[in-house]
A and B are shown apart, each in its own frame.
Chain A
Amino acid sequence: MSIAVDADAVRTGRAKAMDLAREAIGRIRADPGLLAVTRCLEARALAEAAEVDAQVARGVDPGPLAGVPYAVKDLFDVAGLPTTAGAARLEHAEPAACDAEAIVRLRAAGAVLVATCNMDEFAYGFVTDNARWGITRNPHDRARFAGGSSGGSAAAVAAGLVGFALGSDTNGSIRIPAGLCGVYGIKPTHGSLPMGGVYPFAHTLDDIGAFARSAGDLALIDSVLRGHAAAARPLSDLDPAILGGWFAQNLTADMREGLAGLGPLPMVEIEGVAQARSAAFLITAYEGGHLHAAALREAPLSYDPATRDRLIAGGALPDAIHAEALAYRAVFAERMRRLLDRHGILIAPVVMGPAPQMADPTVLIDGVPKPARPNLGLFTQPISFLGLPVVAAPLAVRGLPLGVQLIGAPGADGDVLAFAADLERKGLVRSHPVAPEQE
């Protein structure tokens, strides 16, 4: 059921926010093995739900998300709690004084925060393999990764624990877990959603966005976060094309078939994708490394080794390399602009195929197994490098979920949301919800 339907039931008094909150808490508590949730915020959730129900009783409209339970990646400030960013070293940090701006907006729309979610430490990874809170399982096959770094949020939505969730995306951290868990996710145009109270990673690339089980839900949450619905052009003005070249290599047979199932679309190529991905990789390493340099000097062994060693190496990159990588953005952006001017929407896989197995945490690149943690972003990094809006949508395929990126021009967030909804109406994309396991 869509969250708009749930919210409408609460707004009209046919359902109670308190019941929805209690049900969500019950689902979370019944499935600890998913390792999607780091903290269940029962007291806060029940208080917020009571506030929503009281508004309805007084004849006040609580808003378009009335009573809808949701979760946030554990890098959003939640008043009264430490913001861990997935790091054990911050587990007992000073509590946040107030909520992140995104949470403030969701609460004003009636949504009820019930949990914080697991992530790769400091968002530096694509698998949600966390040294303190464990590896978030993929709800579709618990022997597989959920993807990351916002894997807890994606898994919580896919498993039906909450109505929606928030994550962040620097190089693919919303799109990859959305794709691997079979739900929708949006990485908006860079800088278009509020970043206040969000633990940073690489400031020139960081964005927040939502996970949801339908394109309509995703657009509704996005409109609340944005403060208005993103404007969209008529679908007839869009002439979508599939990105080939770099984006057609290393695909599994399932992914090739899934893309073909979208219909006969033109295939276009863009030059210099490898450089774009490397530039994004270097910018991230430099900015993340410099952000953590002082803390790493003080207490390097307090970090997860897999994160620590990447951050130390990145912190050693000179300013000139960062500048060189940023300068390439203008070159690549102009090439992409010409393609998007012509096609409006570009389609690319999120990752090469289905979620990797935890027992074999690799992906095949040019026939060679490479570690999944840094390499699942092969197709997402060149896109977020440009700050473009992207909806990750789950292909309507049998078996394990496969996601596609629906990419728009800067500011065309409404176009990618509308295009996702159109594909959903045509039966070409759909979420893959699963029932939570009882333990």
Chain B
Amino acid sequence: MTETTTPRFPEHLRDLDDKAIVRSLGLVLPAACVPGVAMNVRLLADHIAILRGERR
């Protein structure tokens, strides 16, 4: 796993696919990690929205 550009946590994910989510983190991951990391980023984005009262 390596870092490329400045990481940016993708809080708004509607239009992003798994690879785009991982790219926006500034990470180059082994292919095996991409679906799981993307799924967990989506989960964390949901929790950010809940914390901010944007979603129940």
- A274-B50, A309-B40, A316-B41 given; A297·B29 CB < 8 A: no
B contact residues around A281 at 8 Å (CB): 44, 47
| A380 to B: closest C-beta gap in Å | 16
Give Cα A285 to B46, complex, Å. Answer: 13
Closest residue to B53 on the A side, CB-wise?
Answer: A275
- A274-B50, A300-B33, A308-B36 given; A313·B56 CB < 8 A: no
Are B27 and A316 in touch, CB under 8 angstroms? yes
Chain B contacts with A in 16-39, Cβ cutoff 8 A: 25-27, 29-30, 32-33, 36-37, 39
Q: Is A88 an interface residue (CB 8 A)?
A: no
B contact residues around A324 at 8 Å (CB): 51-52
Q: Is A312 an interface residue (CB 8 A)?
A: yes
Contact with B along A279-302 (1 / 0, CB 8 A): 101100100000000001100110
Give Cα A374 to B50, complex, Å. Answer: 16
Are A297 and B2 in touch, CB under 8 angstroms? yes
- Picked from A309, A318, A374, the residue with its CB within 8 Å of the CB of B37 is A309
Beyond the given A297-B1, A297-B2, A314-B40, please list 8 additional residue pairs across the A-B interface where CB-CB is below 8 A.
A274-B56, A282-B44, A305-B36, A309-B33, A309-B40, A310-B36, A316-B41, A318-B7
A contact residues around B51 at 8 Å (CB): 275, 278-279, 282, 324-325, 328
Are A374 and B43 in touch, CB under 8 angstroms? yes
Are A313 and B48 in touch, CB under 8 angstroms? no
A contact residues around B39 at 8 Å (CB): 309
- A274-B50, A275-B53, A325-B51 given; A317·B44 CB < 8 A: yes
Give Cα A151 to B44, complex, Å. Answer: 25
Chief secondary structure at chain A's binding surface: helix
Count, chain A residues at interface, CB 8 A: 28
Q: Is A143 an interface residue (CB 8 A)?
A: no
Are B3 and A300 in touch, CB under 8 angstroms? no
Closest residue to B24 on the A side, CB-wise?
Answer: A316
A contact residues around B52 at 8 Å (CB): 324
Are A317 and B9 in touch, CB under 8 angstroms? yes
B contact residues around A300 at 8 Å (CB): 1, 29-30, 33
Give Cα A277 to B3, complex, Å. Answer: 30
Sample of 7 A–B contacts (CB below 8 Å) = A281-B47, A282-B51, A309-B37, A312-B27, A313-B43, A321-B9, A325-B51
B contact residues around A282 at 8 Å (CB): 44, 47-48, 51
B contact residues around A306 at 8 Å (CB): 36
Contact with A along B4-21 (1 / 0, CB 8 A): 000101000000000000
Binding site for A on B (CB under 8 A): 1-3, 7, 9, 25-27, 29-30, 32-33, 36-37, 39-41, 43-44, 46-48, 50-53, 56
Closest residue to B47 on the A side, CB-wise?
Answer: A278
Give Cα A59 to B6, complex, Å. Answer: 67
A contact residues around B37 at 8 Å (CB): 309, 312-313
- Picked from A297, A305, A317, A321, the residue with its CB within 8 Å of the CB of B32 is A305
A contact residues around B33 at 8 Å (CB): 300, 305, 308-309, 312
Give Cα A296 to B47, complex, Å. Answer: 23
- Picked from B30, B40, B46, the residue with its CB within 8 Å of the CB of A310 is B40
Closest residue to A303 on the B side, CB-wise?
Answer: B33
| A101 to B: closest C-beta gap in Å | 33
B contact residues around A310 at 8 Å (CB): 36, 40
Query: Which has the most chain A C-beta neighbours within 10 Å: B44, B52, B56?
Result: B44
B contact residues around A296 at 8 Å (CB): 1
- A297-B1, A312-B1, A312-B29 given; A275·B40 CB < 8 A: no
- A275-B53, A279-B51, A297-B2 given; A309·B36 CB < 8 A: yes
| A332 to B: closest C-beta gap in Å | 11
Closest residue to A311 on the B side, CB-wise?
Answer: B40
Are B29 and A318 in touch, CB under 8 angstroms? no
- A297-B1, A305-B36, A314-B44 given; A275·B30 CB < 8 A: no
Give Cα A312 to B3, complex, Å. Answer: 11
| A365 to B: closest C-beta gap in Å | 12
A contact residues around B27 at 8 Å (CB): 312, 316
A contact residues around B47 at 8 Å (CB): 278, 281-282
The 3 closest A-B pairs by CB, nearest first: A309-B36, A313-B40, A278-B47
Give Cα A281 to B45, complex, Å. Answer: 11
Closest residue to A312 on the B side, CB-wise?
Answer: B37
| B5 to A: closest C-beta gap in Å | 12
